[in-house]
């Protein structure tokens, strides 16, 4: 372990005590030394405060704990056990009554890693959603293009007398702009036809929908 005095960024006392507590306990265990109950928190407290026991005064020296004497939801014994579990797991576990404030103070890298993982998972989810939406859009576009091709083929079999029926049938699927281009190509085959509508004198008049597009 690199001493905090030699590190590029000096560790906070509580953070340093947690790291050293893990190292001390693991070294003692490897040597076969007899360990006390809750060895991680005992070592942590001794390194941080000089006392191996947790009391109200010591609790107030642990950053993020925010312990108060009037705390009715937990007692110091529960806090001590939770701290031992957190330190033993290098911050991976954050049991109650501890909060993520304590976890962030003692093991900030765990918080950063989890944030990174969460962002990574979110990015993967977003990418998958975009790909799925892109595929769905492409499928809808292809289906619409195929349907428009059917309308064009249908138009090839129409005459000036039946083209109104064709337009009425396909106008429910496509707007005037989409039907206008194939219609004007179709009408060029008929020298006297510029619209699917004729007046009583047999003169051709332009439909409002297609005249707007034209």
Predicted structure pTM score: 0.50
Judged by average pLDDT, the poorest of 1-10, 39-48, 91-100, 196-205 is 196-205
H helices of the chain, where? 13-30, 39-49, 56-59, 76-88, 100-106, 108-156, 163-170, 176-187, 208-213
Residues whose CB is less than 8 angstroms from the CB of residue 38 and which lie 6 or more positions away in sequence, other chains included:
80, 81, 84
For 155-179, what is each residue's pLDDT tens digit? Answer: 998 888 899 999 999 998 898 888 9
pLDDT, tens only, 116-156: 666 667 677 777 887 888 888 889 989 999 999 999 999 99
pLDDT at 89: 92
Cα–Cα distance, 183 to 158 (Å, whole number) = 10
| pLDDT for the residue 72 | 65
Query: Which tokens sit at 72?
Result: 């009715």
Nearest to 206 by CA among 181, 184, 179: 184
- Band of the pLDDT at 115, cuts 50, 70, 90? low
pLDDT of residue 212: 45
* Residue 116: predicted pLDDT: 61
Domain residue ranges in the chain: 13-106, 112-213
The whole-number average pLDDT for the span 15-22 is 93
d(CA 49, CA 52): 8
């Amino acid at each position: 372990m690199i001493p905090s005095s030699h590190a590029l960024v000096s560790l906070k006392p509580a953070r340093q005590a947690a790291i050293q507590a893990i190292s001390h306990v693991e070294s003692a265990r490897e040597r076969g030394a007899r360990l006390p109950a809750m060895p991680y928190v005992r070592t942590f407290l001794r390194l941080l405060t000089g006392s191996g026991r947790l009391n109200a005064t010591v609790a107030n020296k642990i950053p993020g704990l925010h312990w108060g004497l009037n705390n009715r939801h937990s007692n110091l014994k529960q806090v001590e056990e939770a701290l031992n579990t957190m330190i033993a797991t290098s911050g991976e576990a954050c049991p109650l009554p501890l909060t993520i404030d304590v976890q962030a103070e003692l093991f900030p890298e765990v918080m950063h890693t989890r944030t990174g993982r969460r962002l990574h998972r979110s990015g993967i989810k977003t990418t998958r959603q975009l790909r799925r939406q892109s595929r769905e859009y492409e499928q809808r576009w292809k289906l619409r293009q195929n349907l428009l091709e059917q309308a064009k083929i249908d138009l090839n079999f129409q005459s000036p007398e039946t083209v109104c029926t064709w337009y009425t049938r396909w106008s429910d699927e496509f707007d005037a702009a989409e039907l206008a281009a194939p219609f004007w190509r179709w009408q060029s085959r008929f020298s006297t036809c510029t619209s699917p509508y004729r007046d009583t004198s047999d003169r051709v008049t332009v439909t409002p929908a297609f005249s707007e597009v034209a």
